[in-house]
């Protein structure tokens, strides 16, 4: 928070009793955890006795010396500056370590309090920046501290329903086959003519043992789990697929298979497999 004038700062972190700071500041930095009910900044320096006489439960009011008045009840006034209105959308961007351009991740409703970035590749630091917006205004950027993303396993994710399946036991995948649109024309020359279209997508088959993991790390695989996974694989919706190596792609899944019982595991789960086809970039 920056102000044009100077004022006496004080802290109320430790107790409701106001504790004056014997210095004059033109900048306040709040560090650590704290809960504030209200904030009243004035342009005059108060004596210690005046500070201790303040009733912090008393309703705040705008006075001739007020610079900022905030009660955190959906309004914020500072001089002639007023809150533009309720935030309608949050626009979320990320910046990968070494990059110079922000990538827009999502635009979510202003009432949303959390967001999961399912598409982020691993093994890098990312900085997330958020802009709040109304129908006519956009806020200053809110920038988070760098976040290192690290995961290991195969993931299949539906972003719209927040359903996530993790495949981390006895996982195997075939070779990624890159399907291309290539036509060979035999001519009267020594070599043929090759025509290549824009089509280029990956296909693969994933096989794994999966199920519910209990608190004691026991793997169980009830009939309901297999049914839910089968319905998820075969529902025709595009999903986010993430690999151990950090590949992130949008895929269509089909051909769900199960039935090989793993006798080496006490709960004797069945292995499952499914095919995936890349349908777009993320």
The whole-angstrom separation of Cα 236 and Cα 232 is: 8
The whole-angstrom separation of Cα 241 and Cα 232 is: 13
> Cα–Cα–Cα angle for 176, 256, 207, nearest 5°?
50
- First-to-last alpha carbon distance for the chain, in angstroms, is 37
Name the residue ranges covered by the structural domains of the chain: 2-82, 89-149, 156-280
Residue 105 has a pLDDT of 93
| Local confidence band at 36 (pLDDT 50, 70, 90 cut-offs) | low
What are the beta bridge partners of residue 92? 106, 130
Q: What is the pLDDT of residues 117-156, one digit of tens each?
A: 999 988 999 999 999 888 888 888 888 889 999 888 889 9
The reported pTM is 0.62
CA-wise closest residue to 5 among 51, 62, 68, 53: 68
Q: What is the pLDDT of residues 79-89, one digit of tens each?
A: 444 555 678 89
Residue 18 has a pLDDT of 43
Q: Are 13 and 31 in contact (CB under 8 A)?
A: no
**Does residue 58 have a pLDDT over 50?**
yes
- Average pLDDT, rounded, for the chain: 79
The whole-angstrom separation of Cα 48 and Cα 273 is: 73
Mean pLDDT of the 24-50 span: 66
Residue 127 has a pLDDT of 94
Q: What is the pLDDT of residues 109-118, one digit of tens each?
A: 988 888 999 9
Weakest-pLDDT range from 18-22, 251-255, 273-277: 18-22
Burial class (CB in 10 A: 0-12, 13-18, 19+), 262: middle
Taking domain 156-280, whether its CATH number is 3.90.660 is answered by no
The whole-angstrom separation of Cα 246 and Cα 122 is: 6
**Does residue 238 have a pLDDT over 90?**
yes
Residue 228 has a pLDDT of 94
State the sign of the Cα–Cα–Cα–Cα dihedral 150, 151, 156, 162. negative
| Local confidence band at 263 (pLDDT 50, 70, 90 cut-offs) | low
Q: Tokens at residue 225, please?
A: 């789990």
Higher pLDDT residue, 205 or 219?
A: 205
Q: Are 171 and 205 in contact (CB under 8 A)?
A: no
81: which residues sit within 8 A by CB, 6+ positions away? none
The whole-angstrom separation of Cα 137 and Cα 85 is: 9
Residue 12 has a pLDDT of 38
48 φ, ψ to 5°? -60, -40
The whole-angstrom separation of Cα 157 and Cα 148 is: 20
What are the beta bridge partners of residue 38? none
Q: CA dihedral defined by 262, 266, 268, 273, rounded to 10 degrees?
A: -50
Long-range Cβ pairs for the range 160-165 (8 Å, 24+): 160/237, 162/116, 163/232, 164/118, 165/210, 165/229, 165/232
Mean pLDDT of the 214-224 span: 78
């Amino acid at each position: 928070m920056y102000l044009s004038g100077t004022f006496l700062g004080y802290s109320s972190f430790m107790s409701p009793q106001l504790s004056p700071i014997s210095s004059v500041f033109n900048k306040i930095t709040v560090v650590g955890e704290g809960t504030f009910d209200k904030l009243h900044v004035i342009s005059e320096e108060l004596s210690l006795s005046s500070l201790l006489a303040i009733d912090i439960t008393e309703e705040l009011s705008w006075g001739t010396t007020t610079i900022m008045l905030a009660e955190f009840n959906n309004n914020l006034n500072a001089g002639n500056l007023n809150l533009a209105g309720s935030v309608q959308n949050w626009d979320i961007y990320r910046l990968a370590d070494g990059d110079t351009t922000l990538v827009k991740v999502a635009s979510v409703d202003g009432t949303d309090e959390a967001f999961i970035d399912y598409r982020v590749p691993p093994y890098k630091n990312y900085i997330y920046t958020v802009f709040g917006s109304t129908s006519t205004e956009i806020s200053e950027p809110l920038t988070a501290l760098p976040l290192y993303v690290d995961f290991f396993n195969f993931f299949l994710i539906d972003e719209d329903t927040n359903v996530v399946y993790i495949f981390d036991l006895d996982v195997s995948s075939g070779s990624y086959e890159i399907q291309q649109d290539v036509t060979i024309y035999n001519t009267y020359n020594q070599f043929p003519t090759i025509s290549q279209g824009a089509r280029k997508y990956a296909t693969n088959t994933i096989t794994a043992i999966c199920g519910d993991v209990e608190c004691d790390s026991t793997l169980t695989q009830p009939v309901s789990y297999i049914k839910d996974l089968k319905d998820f694989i075969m529902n025709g919706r595009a999903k986010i697929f993430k690999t151990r190596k950090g590949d992130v792609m949008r895929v269509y899944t089909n051909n769900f298979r199960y039935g090989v019982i793993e006798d080496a595991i006490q709960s004797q789960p069945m292995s499952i497999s499914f095919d995936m086809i890349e349908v777009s970039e993320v």
